[in-house]
């Protein structure tokens, strides 16, 4: 699988590297593309776009939201701005200190594969400021929340047959096995 990782700062932060290393360890081919280059990048041979977080407790409109919105490939977004503006997963967003997710939809194929049960809380790792979206679009499935029932820790919206995910715990450099297992289950799905 050919994956584009959208690096938000122009330098690879520790949390970016942790996700990139995980995908490389799974045998995926990962190409790093910065914000400024997304609009001109040729996605023809790309199987997945992973949008990194723009930073801790900070959000900014992505320079290539129209390009991201038009992609006909799966997207995993760690950025609340992209999840909200480009993918339309929700209409509101924020940042909060997060260490765990609670299962909302245990029937979702990802939760079934993991064996994670309804209303059960799973540690993601160290408590860190992370991104969430709320006021979810009617076509969005809330899979896990991170702090309260309306705050998406993990949510999926299917657009033109392709999954678009918001993942609200981006500090994989301090994440634990549950965070890794969850990310791998999303990739498998």
Q: What per-residue confidence (pLDDT) applies to 58?
A: 56
Reported confidence tier of residue 7, pLDDT bands at 50, 70, 90: very high
Q: Is residue 131's pLDDT more than 90?
A: no
pTM: 0.95
Per-residue confidence (pLDDT) for residue 56, from 0 to 100: 57
Please give the average per-residue pLDDT across 144-160, as a whole number: 91
Looking at per-residue confidence, does 129 or 164 come out higher? 164
Q: How confident is the model at residue 59 (pLDDT cuts 50, 70, 90)?
A: low
d(CA 130, CA 34): 21
Is the Cβ–Cβ distance between 121 and 145 less than 8 Å? no
Q: Averaged over 47-68, what is the pLDDT?
A: 83
d(CA 184, CA 189): 9
Q: Which two tokens stand for residue 16?
A: 């970016």
What is the average pLDDT across 18-34?
97
Counting Cβ atoms within 10 Å, is residue 119 exposed (0-12), middle (13-18) or buried (19+)? Answer: exposed
Instruction: Provide the pLDDT for residue 60.
Output: 65
Name the pairing type of β-strands 152-159 and 140-145. Answer: antiparallel
Give 124 or 151, the one with higher predicted confidence: 124
Give the end-to-end CA distance of the chain in Å, rounded to a whole number. 13
Residue among 127, 152, 125, 3 at smallest CA distance from 71: 3
72-86 pLDDT tens trace: 999 999 999 999 999
């Amino acid at each position: 699988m050919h994956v584009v990782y959208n690096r938000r700062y122009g330098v690879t932060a520790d949390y970016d590297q942790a996700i990139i290393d995980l995908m490389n360890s799974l045998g995926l081919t990962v190409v790093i593309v910065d914000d400024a280059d997304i609009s001109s990048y040729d996605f023809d041979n790309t199987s997945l776009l992973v949008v990194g977080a723009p930073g801790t407790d900070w959000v900014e409109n992505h320079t290539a939201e129209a390009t991201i919105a038009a992609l006909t490939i799966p997207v995993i977004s760690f950025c609340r701005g992209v999840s909200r503006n480009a993918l339309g997963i929700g209409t509101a967003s924020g940042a909060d200190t997060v260490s765990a997710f609670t299962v909302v939809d245990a029937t979702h194929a990802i939760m079934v594969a993991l064996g994670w049960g309804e209303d059960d809380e799973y540690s993601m790792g160290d408590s860190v400021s992370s991104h969430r979206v709320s006021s979810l679009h009617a076509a969005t499935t809330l899979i896990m929340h991170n702090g309260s029932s309306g705050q998406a820790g993990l949510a999926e919206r299917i657009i033109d047959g392709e999954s678009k995910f918001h993942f609200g715990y981006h500090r994989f450099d301090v994440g634990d096995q549950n965070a890794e297992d969850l990310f791998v289950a999303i990739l498998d799905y």
